[in-house]
Structure 1
């Protein structure tokens, strides 16, 4: 019997920027909810915000002290009994990466949302090689369960 998926309260936000319609189309609310719920082990209240390069760079510089826009930033505030977090995805970076990797925009967003949700629950790929391999394997398994391809290509853990 498949496990019951935890409840999710979601605020899905889109900043105003040129081309936002393409990103809205790749992120229908029901799909975002589905992708995130499959990545969760406990109930969550998440805000997902899709931003332009300026906002993404500003947030990364302010909170991570890195002066560039990155694909996803996770701000986790609480992990138990409910995960409270913000996931900020930089649309231009996500689009460039998807094109470079030969993925659809929706596939790449699904991967990054799963990745961010795992971070919000305490998973970390920067602490050790073993942690990175474990997180990658978890992402691959979640995405496979959603019918999505291995985001890392043919290789796997």
Structure 2
């Protein structure tokens, strides 16, 4: 009998594209999100949303009436919700491809859902190293390395 795999079952992951503009902005968006989620061990759902939806959720659950790049929820089921406009703006400001920034944020969210955090400098550095290692495995440049 083989030991259970530490890799998540791909069937434990769902993708919802609530904002159709994601498909226009990021070619092969489904493939990018699925590869990043699988590489990071994501179980649950990734929702590609618009800024309006994320702003409403951020106001409701965090008291911040503005969109943010990604929100994660553990209950009632693991979920990461990404805001199109914020992701696009951040990618432009960082001079990165939107697809690469999206992959980074999916990995980041998956790590949060696995219990990782970056509230303290040591935790932040450990999480950054984990992100860069996972991203390297799927061919995405290190987001923490300055050009």
Superposition TM-score tier, normalisation by shorter sequence: 0.7 to 0.9
The alpha-carbon deviation at position 4 of structure 1 amounts to: 6.3
The alpha-carbon deviation at position 20 of structure 1 amounts to: 3.8
Q: CA RMSD in A?
A: 2.2
Q: Distance in 1 between matches of 2:44 and 2:123?
A: 24
Deviations 1:99-142 (A, max 9, x none): 1111111101100000000000000112x111111111110111
Which consecutive unaligned segments of at least 5 residues does structure 1 have? 79-83
Q: Distance in 1 between matches of 2:136 and 2:22?
A: 28
On the 8 A contact 1:26/1:105 being kept in 2, the answer is no
- Once superposed, which parts of structure 1, at least 4 consecutive aligned residues long, lie more than 4 Å away? none
Equivalence for 2:14: 11
Equivalence for 1:34: 35
The alpha-carbon deviation at position 7 of structure 1 amounts to: 1.2
Q: Distance in 2 between matches of 1:121 and 1:151?
A: 20
- The answer as to 2:87 corresponding to 1:94 is yes
1:25 counterpart SS class: coil
Q: What pairs with 1:1-150 in structure 2 (closer than 5 Å)?
A: 5-8=7-10, 9-16=12-19, 19-23=21-25, 25-28=27-30, 30-40=31-41, 45-77=43-75, 84-126=77-119, 128-150=120-142
Deviations 1:64-98 (A, max 9, x none): 122210001110138xxxxx411000001001111
Aligned length, in residue pairs: 142
Q: TM (normalized to structure 1)? A: 0.80
Greater per-residue strand proportion: 1
